[in-house]
Amino acid sequence: MTRRLLIGFGIVAFGVLAIPVASQTRSAAANTKTAAQPYTPPRTPDGQPDLQGFWTNSIYTPLERPKNVTKEFYTPEEAAEMEKRAAERESAEPAAGTVADVHYDEAQFGLNRSQATFARTLRTSLIVDPPDGRMPPLTAEAQKRFADLAAARKRMGAPFDRVQNMDIDDRCLIMAGTAPPMLSPGYMSNYQIVQAPGYVMILVERIHDARIIPLDGRPHPPDNVRQWIGSSRGHWEGKTLVVESRNFNSKRPGVGDWQLAGLAFRGASQDMRVTEWFTRVDADTILYRFTVEDEKTWARPWTAELPMVKLQPQGPLFEHACHEGNYGLVNTLAGARLEEKKAAEDAAKKQPK
Amino acid sequence: MSPRFARLTMIAAGLLVAVTTVIGQAPAPGSPTRQPSGGGTYHAPRTGDGKPNLNGIWQALNTANWDIEAHAAAPGLITELGASIAVPGGLGVVEGEIPYKPEALAKKKANYTDRLKLDPENKCYLPGVPRGTYMPFPFQILQSQKHIMIVHEFAGAVRTIYMENQTPAPADSWMGWSNGRWDGETLVVDTTGFNDQTWFDRAGNFHSDALHVVERFTARSADTLMYDVTIEDPNVFTRPWKMTMPLYRRVEKNAQLMEFRCVEFVEDLLYGHLRKQPK
């Protein structure tokens, strides 16, 4: 059992408790629609609108609208049916003895979304703009970049030839979808927000990624300074926290490097800019909206919106020492080498003597 | 104050008195709050909720990460890196000697001998407490009423210090489980629930999973803190012992924690032997 599983186990304790609460509480879609209603968030001692607490953006609604859906919103009944089907798919067991059957037992460890607090919306996609709920078409430049990167990827060899060929989440580098913008990484989609004078800190539970966002209007670092989570600068517009991020590197899957199986952003270049809006619309909900801009990849920006809902109960988050307990990575690579050895031995046996 | 909180506080206070008594620094009954070593009567600015304001980006300026005990300069372990990786000398941050049990001292010496292979810092593992505080990287304190966060640049290590809803450590971890309280001008952080995987420095000083750390952060001027640490680990040491050092504010106008996502830098070190070999 890996450390990751052990850490996940901690979630079960409050995940199970959370089910009745989650099923009774608001549809976040309702919250989306009540954003215009006057809700005045409490203030921190230094006067910031208070976003603090433990939140989740775990959600069944897909980023892009399914191709067979043509409307922007489901009815509550349709949304519930969509969630039910998605939860069934999520907990379905692959056929025993197949490669697909080698996986975390997520249900046992309370990692399925339906086992803990999750966010809900009546929207049929998280993308709200373009209005068709789908990402804008790729530019010709982006298509060429994808082709070049796919070719480069092929030259690097098979996925398990060396650690650098493996996915960045398996390597415990960063969860591609968690920051910024922040989308659910599947399980443990949990966040802790702490506000100190002049700063908002958002702790992403997965790989304990702390986004420290200064609010003093300072400039971004020089353009040559590139980071996995970029550089974020924030300011308040009324009760909304606006965060602008740039200075990304090109190593996140789907953010411009050769790993095209992007979890979130499907190949933006490292010159991507992200703007995020955090608005507390009621005691239990932050409406989270973001816009991604990258002329090199899309002819127009695109925008998504989803609720972040309060975890029930309120934390705590446990240390996700992903790298330190990454036995899975060692075993994967060692297993690949063993298979090669066995294949070579089998081939040698077949050689005529 | 909830009964549970009150009980925890009493236990923590009792423990502190016990610890300070052992090391001979217990305050006389009724005396004012013990002054931190090197501290004066500095009164820190207050946060919006009236607590000493320790917010900021801080860094130690000493050689404790090489060796918390006094040591002369020494060559490094990588010949090719010459002077750039050599060890700077230092007078140490430990009060007196580290009271190792005999068998633990033998292990410390073995750790030192084999430090190139064993030091968890080389593997980009979470640095533990208090090592993270005095590594040659800044860390940031973010103070709210319920939680005080300490975020380290090294490996992006994070500590949540619970100022409310305090519980015993629910599980072992690398950075431990921290409960905090204010003692006048001082933030007192009581941390348990460690694993036995972290070291105190590059010289092989170590602990077991019975480690109990009590840290005292006290502002001594606008831009310096005193950092006093009491280490207790009955599996490894014969008695509690102390480290003391100042911490300095990073006063650059644009000071910020940079990303030091070192996992990427150690992949060949940790997994290079599992690469597919060319035929």
Instruction: Inform me whether the C-beta atom of residue A199 falls under 8 Å from chain B C-beta atoms.
Output: yes
> In terms of CA atoms, which chain B residue is nearest residue A52?
B144
Alpha-carbon span A343 to A321, nearest angstrom: 35
Q: Which residues in chain B have their CB less than 8 angstroms from residue A218's CB?
A: 253-254
Q: Which residues in chain B have their CB less than 8 angstroms from residue A190's CB?
A: none
Contact B173 A321 (CB under 8 A): yes
Instruction: Inform me whether the C-beta atom of residue A12 falls under 8 Å from chain B C-beta atoms.
Output: no
Instruction: Inform me whether the C-beta atom of residue B257 falls under 8 Å from chain A C-beta atoms.
Output: yes
Q: Is residue B13 part of a domain?
A: no
Q: Is residue B228 part of a domain?
A: yes
- Tell me how close the Cα of B116 comes to any Cα of chain A, in angstroms: 18
Is residue B102 scored above 70 in pLDDT? yes
Contact B177, B88 (CB under 8 A): no
Instruction: Inform me whether the C-beta atom of residue B239 falls under 8 Å from chain A C-beta atoms.
Output: no
The one-letter code for the residue type at A138 is: L
Is residue B154 scored above 90 in pLDDT? yes
Is residue B43 scored above 80 in pLDDT? yes
Task: Closest CB to A210: pick one of B126, B151, B171.
Answer: B151
Contact A218 B126 (CB under 8 A): no
Average pLDDT for B247-263: 97
pLDDT at B190: 98
Concatenated DSSP letters for B156-180? Answer: T-EEEEESSS----SS-BSS-EEEE
Please report which confidence band the pLDDT of residue B38 belongs to, taking 50, 70 and 90 as the band edges. Answer: very low
Residue B29 structure tokens: 């009954």
pLDDT at B16: 41
Alpha-carbon span A133 to A18, nearest angstrom: 31
Contact A253, A166 (CB under 8 A): no
Give the A window 158-177 contacts with B, CB below 8 Å. Answer: 158, 160-164, 171-174
Q: Please return the burial class of B48, using the count of CB atoms within 10 Å of its CB with bins 0-12, 13-18 and 19+.
A: middle
Contact A234, A200 (CB under 8 A): yes
pLDDT at A37: 61
- Range in A261-265, B165-169, B274-278 with the lowest mean pLDDT: A261-265
Q: Which residues in chain B have their CB less than 8 angstroms from residue A173's CB?
A: 261, 263-264
pLDDT at B150: 98
Q: Is residue B227 part of a domain?
A: yes
Residue B158 structure tokens: 């994070």
Q: Is residue B174 part of a domain?
A: yes
Residue A342 structure tokens: 């066995």
> In terms of CA atoms, which chain B residue is nearest residue A217?
B254
pLDDT at B279: 67
- Domain containing residue B123: 52-78+87-252+259-271
Q: Which residues in chain B have their CB less than 8 angstroms from residue A225's CB?
A: 258
pLDDT at A148: 79
Contact B174 A171 (CB under 8 A): no
Contact A212 B144 (CB under 8 A): no
Q: Is residue B240 part of a domain?
A: yes
Q: Which residues in chain A have their CB less than 8 angstroms from residue B274's CB?
A: 162-163, 330, 333-334, 336-337
What is the complex's ipTM, to 2 decimals?
Answer: 0.86
pLDDT at A313: 87
- Tell me how close the Cα of A69 comes to any Cα of chain B, in angstroms: 41
Residue A41 structure tokens: 């968030």
Alpha-carbon span A287 to A293, nearest angstrom: 20
Which SS3 state, helix, strand or coil, does residue A195 take?
strand
Instruction: Inform me whether the C-beta atom of residue A214 falls under 8 Å from chain B C-beta atoms.
Output: yes
Task: Closest CB to A162: pick one of B256, B258, B275.
Answer: B275
Q: Is residue B276 part of a domain?
A: no
Contact A46 B175 (CB under 8 A): no
Q: Which residues in chain B have their CB less than 8 angstroms from residue A210's CB?
A: 149, 151, 156, 158
Instruction: Inform me whether the C-beta atom of residue B9 falls under 8 Å from chain A C-beta atoms.
Output: no
Task: Closest CB to A195: pick one of B53, B124, B144.
Answer: B144
Residue A320 structure tokens: 């996700």
Is residue B25 scored above 60 in pLDDT? no
Antiparallel, parallel or unpaired: β B186-192 and B177-183: antiparallel
Contact B263 A163 (CB under 8 A): no
More confident residue, A3 or B230: B230
Question: How many other β-carbons are positioned within 10 Å of the β-carbon of residue A317?
Answer: 21
Instruction: Inform me whether the C-beta atom of residue A196 falls under 8 Å from chain B C-beta atoms.
Output: yes
Contact B267 A171 (CB under 8 A): yes
pLDDT at A109: 76
Half-sphere exposure of residue A149, counting CA atoms within 13 Å on the CB side?
23
pLDDT at B13: 44
Q: Number of A to B CB contacts under 8 A, please give it.
A: 125
**pLDDT per residue of chain A (353 residues) written in tens, 0 to 9:** 333 333 333 333 333 333 333 333 334 444 444 445 689 999 999 999 999 999 999 999 999 999 999 999 999 999 999 999 999 988 887 888 887 777 777 777 777 888 888 999 999 999 999 999 999 998 999 888 888 777 877 888 888 999 988 888 889 998 866 778 999 888 889 999 999 999 999 999 999 999 999 999 999 999 999 999 999 999 999 999 999 999 998 877 544 333 444 334 667 888 999 999 999 999 999 999 999 999 999 999 999 999 999 998 898 999 999 999 999 999 999 999 999 999 999 999 988 76
The pLDDT mean for chain B works out to 89
Average pLDDT for B36-64: 88
Q: Domain with B116 in it: what CATH number?
A: 2.40.128.20
Q: Can you point out the beta strands (E) in chain A?
A: 53-56, 127-129, 190-196, 199-204, 209-214, 231-237, 240-246, 273-282, 285-293, 302-310
Return the H-helix or E-strand segment holding B188: strand B186-192
DSSP symbol at B94 = B
Q: Which of B46, B249, B267, B273 to mutate to test the interface with A (most CBs of A within 10 A)?
A: B267
More confident residue, B154 or B13: B154
| Count of all residues that appear for chain B in the document | 279
Q: Is residue B41 part of a domain?
A: no
pLDDT at A266: 64
Phi, then psi, of A153 in degrees rounded to 5: -60, -40
In chain B, how many domains are there? 1
Average pLDDT for B73-88: 96
Q: Is residue B185 part of a domain?
A: yes
